[in-house]
Amino acid sequence: MPSRHTLLASVTAATLLGAAAAGGCDSGPPRRAVKTVASRSPVTQPPSPTTSTSPTVVTPTRSAPPTATAPAPDPARTALARMTLAQRVGQLFMVGSPATSASPATLDAVSRLHVGNVMLTGRSRAGTAVPARTARVLRAATAGGVGMFVATDQEGGQVQVLSGPGLSTLPGALSQGGMAPARLQAVAAGWGRQLRAAGVNLDLAPVLDVVPGVAAARTNPPIGALGREYGYTPATVTSHGLAFAAGMRSAGVAVAAKHFPGLGRVHENTDTAASVTDRVTTRHDPFLAPFAAAVRAGAPFVMVSTATYTRVDPTRPAAFSPTVIGGMLRHDLGFGGVVISDDLANARQVSAWAPGARAVGFLAAGGDMVLVVDASPVAAMQRAVLGRAGADPAFRAKVDAAALRVLRAKAAAHLLP
């Protein structure tokens, strides 16, 4: 049975609807006029001769068409549209400079070749002030109002470029892996604030390579022998690598998960040896789990290794492989951010390729940012990329798409005007 409140609401609603119909302001279909009963009281005034006795016709009102909402401006596309091809290509390079002072060659690459990103290299024990000054000098050489990513290697342990006053000595990743993830995230946030004070806004970390045990670490020169792994299982590497990344990002420092698809099971170092080969990793390997988790967590950069993975693409290093970059990383893992290479300047692993072929091969495979730890090969690389882009429309489209991804990462980092 309807309640008293329900009945009261029904009566009230009916009264309001009747009033609306009589007043002619209903926006729905016309309604028949409500017939009124004449009063038996004497009428003192005759009806006006102009008063109509026909039913009131209610004309439906039409709503105004919705106003089209202008699409939100895309600062990355706006910046891209203003760039020449040479400027777009410049965004696709990251060039090294000693952290202690701006390299003249790198300054020239930034000012003349439009290089849009730098990496502070070597070892600086001068605290935050010296690398911050180096970063300012390099930034001052840019043109066009687009800021630069200033990166460094600040993993901890044996891989820490910056130290000294105002900068903590970071424990190695194995020690970090012994912390509770929440504790590591909080500590990494402090490390990130120190990097910001040193002029750095991109840390080429965390290392998400999985070394499958203590014994394997001894025969794994690039990762295990240096204690760069967070642990010996995908779960430990995932939890602690993501905690490190979250702490850095909370401090305003972007991160690059590395070295996809993993260097934890190779027996040589790509920096010092050629023909470094992984014969174990498969396209859907369980050791890829940390990278998949980093992608889901929104990592803006993923660094691709230069090792060859015979069970994925036996014909070329990962950095030159469309299967690794386009298939595994973009398609399988759904990564839409910036793919950065491992070093393509001095690494022995890529010495068989001419500098220009390295840059073109990486970008043709779907990469976005060519990392070179010194500026010596940049001019040749840029000429090769510009030449290929001018002759091959499909490659030009890849250059434009890569530049847009870099600019979107810069927009997220507040580096665009």
Q: Is 271 exposed, middle or buried (0-12, 13-18, 19+ CB in 10 A)?
A: middle
Domain at 163, CATH number: 3.20.20.300
Q: What is the pLDDT of residue 277?
A: 99
Q: What is the pLDDT of residues 61-77, one digit of tens each?
A: 455 555 566 677 899 99
12 pLDDT band, cuts 50/70/90, is: very low
The answer to whether position 85 is within a domain reads no
Domain that holds residue 215: 91-412
pLDDT of res. 15:
37
Residues 38-42, mean pLDDT to the nearest whole number:
38
Q: Which long-range contacts (CB under 8 A, 24 or more apart) does 16-25 make?
A: 21/58, 22/56, 24/56, 24/58, 24/59
In tens, the pLDDT along 308-338 reads 999 999 999 999 999 999 999 999 999 999 9
* pLDDT for res 14: 35
CB 151 within 8 A of CB 94: yes
In a domain, 290, yes or no: yes
The helix (H) or strand (E) run that includes residue 151 is strand 149-152
Cα 356 to the center of its chain, rounded Å: 26
Helix axes 393-412, 355-364, angle to 10 degrees: 80
pLDDT in tens, 346-386: 999 999 999 999 999 999 999 999 999 999 999 999 999 99
Please check whether residue 36 lies inside any domain of the structure: no
Report whether pLDDT(112) > 60: yes
Cα 300 from Cα 294, distance rounded (Å): 9
pLDDT at 190: 99
Higher pLDDT, 55 or 294: 294
Residue 25, pLDDT > 90, answer: no
Phi-psi region of 72 (alpha: psi -120 to 50; beta: other; left: phi over 0): beta
Assign residue 301 a region (left: φ > 0; alpha: ψ between -120 and 50; beta: otherwise): beta
Q: CB count, 10 Å around CB of 157? A: 16
The Cα–Cα gap between 138 and 193 comes to 20
Cα–Cα distance measured from residue 270 to residue 305, given in angstroms and rounded to the nearest whole number:
8
> What tens digit of pLDDT does each residue of 194-205 get?
999 999 999 999
Per this entry, what is the length of the chain?
A: 417
Q: Does residue 67 fall inside a structural domain?
A: no
167 within some domain:
yes
Q: What is the model's pLDDT at position 72?
A: 76
| 128: CB partners within 8 A, 6+ apart | 162, 164, 165, 166, 167, 194, 197, 198, 199
Mean pLDDT along residues 252-260: 99
- The pLDDT of residue 16 is above 60: no
- Per the structure, the count of domains in the chain is 1
For residue 53, pLDDT beyond 50: no
Query: What pLDDT, on the 0 to 100 scale, is given for residue 144?
Result: 85
Assigned domain for 350 exists: yes
| pTM for the predicted model, two decimal places | 0.83
Across the chain, mean pLDDT equals 88
Tell me, yes or no, whether 265 lies in a domain.
yes
Sheet containing 93-98, strands listed edge to edge, beginning at the edge strand earlier in sequence = 338-341, 301-304, 254-260, 202-203, 149-152, 117-121, 93-98, 370-372
